[in-house]
Structure 1
Amino acid sequence: MLEHGSSAAAYGEASLAETVPPPRSEAANPAPRLRIGLLNNMPDTALVQTERQFRRLIGTEVDLSFFSLASVPRGPLARAHLDRFYAPHTALAAAGLDALVITGSEPKAARLDEEPYYADFTEVVDWAAQGTVSTLFSCLAAHAAVLHLDRIERRPMATKYSGVYACAASGVHPLLAGMAPVMPVPHSRWNDLPEFELAAKGYTVLRRSEDIGVDLFVREGASLMVFLQGHPEYETDTLAREYRRDIGRFLDGSRDTCPALPENYYTDDAAERLEAFAALAQAERAPALHADFPAMDATPPRPAAWQDGAARLFRNWLALVAANRALRMAVA
């Protein structure tokens, strides 16, 4: 298991109502450092990148440990990395965690509950509902969690939501403290959760987009469960690398349709060059063409306007975890 301060850390002021600061190690009477777990289920090609992204958002003032599901299929290199730096999900209960972040995994089965890891995943969800102060579910993990908790089925869409979308706050909540009413958030998904079904089961939607629906929602209980359909953790070039991957899948025949450009993401000049390449890809579809995909420096994305909001969201979440942990300790 990887703790804060280990060699793998390179991978990888908000308040309840602007009154509860985030945990600070230099406080006169510091509380114990928060212990956060990351259950990283991302595919091999995104495993280390995901560590880096969440390490950046969670920061250095907490102890971060990594966990994995053995039932997620892995290649030998990823397995070696997990064996070195990760603990199995069965170690979660004994890890003394205050909170947990759970990522998704690229689906292979027609239904999430048919995935090989689903039984282990639901075991973790059931434990987290009682064993943590809060658990945050990222994208596909959010879909799998609400399916298990309340049998809410995600709905496939005709086209993929890919891009950066304006998401508006739909209420007041400590997670949104200090944020603008409308924030840009990256999304990359083929499926959606109907808002009316979430509301009917007692979930509270905190942020939504007119274009792509629910972005951020929560479920109150013994543990505060936070669900993200988007990817605030994404780096500037993440959507660009996904688009390049999807073009490659189209060219080699593993994907039927040519992907659309991520929306609201590329500069105008970059979008023009990439659209020209997409037209060529559709006309001369062949794997060898992928070598001619325009270089990143010739097709830059716009500045990552979502990153300040993402950092604020995670500071707010950690502040909320710290405050709720203190309440639990006062009652105990």
Structure 2
Amino acid sequence: MPIKIPNNLPAVNILEKENIFAMDEKRAYSQDIRPLRILLLNLMPTKIVTETQLLRLLGNSPLQVEFDFLYTATYEPKHTPQEHLVKFYETFAEVKNRKYDGMIITGAPVEQIPFEEVVYWNELCEIMDWSRRNVYSTFHICWGAQAALYHHYGIPKYDLPQKMFGIFPHTVNIKEKMLFRGFDDVFYVPHSRHTEVRREDIEKVPQLSILSESEESGIYAVIDKKYRHLFITGHSEYDPLTLKAEYDRDIAQGLPINVPCNYYPNNDPLQQPLVRWRSAANLLFANWLNYYVYQGTPFDLDKLTDAEDLCGLDGDGI
């Protein structure tokens, strides 16, 4: 089944060339089924790139998905054309009276700034609070995960001695949880961050469970006991050359940066990067969309209740 996205979004042509089934609005409206409604709060500077990465993964599903795109009104993006924002994006004031089956909050390049000093922090907190009443399942990525863990549970982030940068092996702690259905015993995830959250802080919060981690890169996946909020510290959505672009950028600017771990054959930046995370990334987003959104969200979104009141699907299967 397709993803439904706005007519003329730049990602459409890219996805069609990759054989991702993307349906435009005109065709979707002729179908007599209810698509899942997903809101993407895009905090990344290169918004078109991030849109394409996430749509590519969410389009690899038998479910029809309809997207709205959101950006913060309290910060003007500098790396995305204004006409793109005007045409495809909305502010929180424009979406706050709607309800959604799912929401994705991306990472952002502000992790070394204290949360309260981020320009759009107050607005983001308002959106995160709103999501608990108006979104069935929220998927937080990297800094978005750190921000939500801090806002909802008071879990701090810590500076790392050097950037966590590369492709790292991970294992699943609770294998019966459906988020990791079909995963190998060891799977790989890209990370690119200067900060971390720690196991000892998360374990103090009884509402949270650690689903996956890595000996090298630490905590990867955390879920709340209501199955309504996922916190993912890595960037499974990254393209094959995303880390290369970050590495080349920092080298060109004379910034201290190590060669990304487990990325280039023989650790040689002159070679083509080795992709080893794509199958796990597709499974991650497909499992979230199916088991944590589609299988639990009410058909009538007006019946959506607060995440504190509704436990989603009970039992060990989720």
| TM-score computed with the length of structure 2 as normaliser | 0.81
Please tell me whether residue 186 in structure 1 is matched to residue 190 in structure 2: yes
Secondary structure of the corresponding residue to residue 211 of structure 2: strand
Tell me which residue corresponds to 2:179.
175
Provide the C-alpha distance between the structure 2 equivalents of 1:78 and 1:193, rounded to a whole number of angstroms. Answer: 33
Superimposed CA distance per residue, residues 181-216 of structure 1 (whole angstroms, 9 cap, x where no aligned partner): 221000111101011111211311111001111011
Tell me which residue corresponds to 1:218.
223
With 259-268 and 80-89 compared, the bigger mean Cα shift is at 80-89
Preserved contact between residue 167 and residue 191 of structure 2 (Cα < 8 Å): yes
Please tell me whether residue 50 in structure 1 is matched to residue 50 in structure 2: yes
With 84-93 and 163-172 compared, the bigger mean Cα shift is at 84-93
Tell me which residue corresponds to 1:207.
212
Tell me which residue corresponds to 1:323.
295
Secondary structure of the corresponding residue to residue 8 of structure 1: coil
Residues 1:93 and 1:178: Cα distance change in structure 2 (over 3 Å):
same
One-letter code of the match for 1:88?
T
Tell me which residue corresponds to 2:311.
none
Q: Measure how far apart 1:5 and its partner are.
A: 4.6
CA-based RMSD of the aligned residues comes to 2.6
Provide the C-alpha distance between the structure 1 equivalents of 2:300 and 2:251, rounded to a whole number of angstroms. Answer: 50
Provide the C-alpha distance between the structure 2 equivalents of 1:35 and 1:267, rounded to a whole number of angstroms. Answer: 40
Q: How many residues align?
A: 280
Secondary structure of the corresponding residue to residue 93 of structure 2: helix
Percent identity at matched positions? 28
Provide the C-alpha distance between the structure 1 equivalents of 2:123 and 2:225, rounded to a whole number of angstroms. Answer: 23
Gaps of at least 5 residues in structure 2 are 15-30, 305-318
Q: Measure how far apart 1:6 and its partner are.
A: 1.6
Bigger Rg over Cα? 1
Provide the C-alpha distance between the structure 2 equivalents of 1:142 and 1:249, rounded to a whole number of angstroms. Answer: 28
Q: Measure how far apart 1:4 and its partner are.
A: 1.4
Match of 2:262 among 258, 261, 264: 264
Secondary structure of the corresponding residue to residue 171 of structure 2: strand
Residues 1:95 and 1:4: Cα distance change in structure 2 (over 3 Å):
farther
Provide the C-alpha distance between the structure 2 equivalents of 1:48 and 1:247, rounded to a whole number of angstroms. Answer: 24
Q: Measure how far apart 1:76 and its partner are.
A: 7.8
- Which structure has greater strand proportion? 2
Tell me which residue corresponds to 1:114.
117
Secondary structure of the corresponding residue to residue 203 of structure 2: helix
Tell me which residue corresponds to 2:34.
32
Secondary structure of the corresponding residue to residue 276 of structure 2: coil
Gaps of at least 5 residues in structure 1 are 13-28, 275-297
One-letter code of the match for 1:225?
H
Please tell me whether residue 246 in structure 1 is matched to residue 246 in structure 2: no
Provide the C-alpha distance between the structure 2 equivalents of 1:91 and 1:99, rounded to a whole number of angstroms. Answer: 17
Within 5 Å, which residues of 2 pair with 1:68-217?
Answer: 68-75=71-78, 78-107=81-110, 110-171=113-174, 172-201=176-205, 202-217=207-222
Preserved contact between residue 47 and residue 80 of structure 2 (Cα < 8 Å): no
Q: Measure how far apart 1:327 and its partner are.
A: 8.2
Match of 2:43 among 30, 41, 44: 41
Preserved contact between residue 99 and residue 134 of structure 2 (Cα < 8 Å): no
Q: Measure how far apart 1:114 and its partner are.
A: 1.0
Secondary structure of the corresponding residue to residue 81 of structure 2: helix
Provide the C-alpha distance between the structure 1 equivalents of 2:100 and 2:262, rounded to a whole number of angstroms. Answer: 38
Residues 1:82 and 1:196: Cα distance change in structure 2 (over 3 Å):
same
Superimposed CA distance per residue, residues 66-122 of structure 1 (whole angstroms, 9 cap, x where no aligned partner): 111112332385333211210112223333321100112211873011111000000
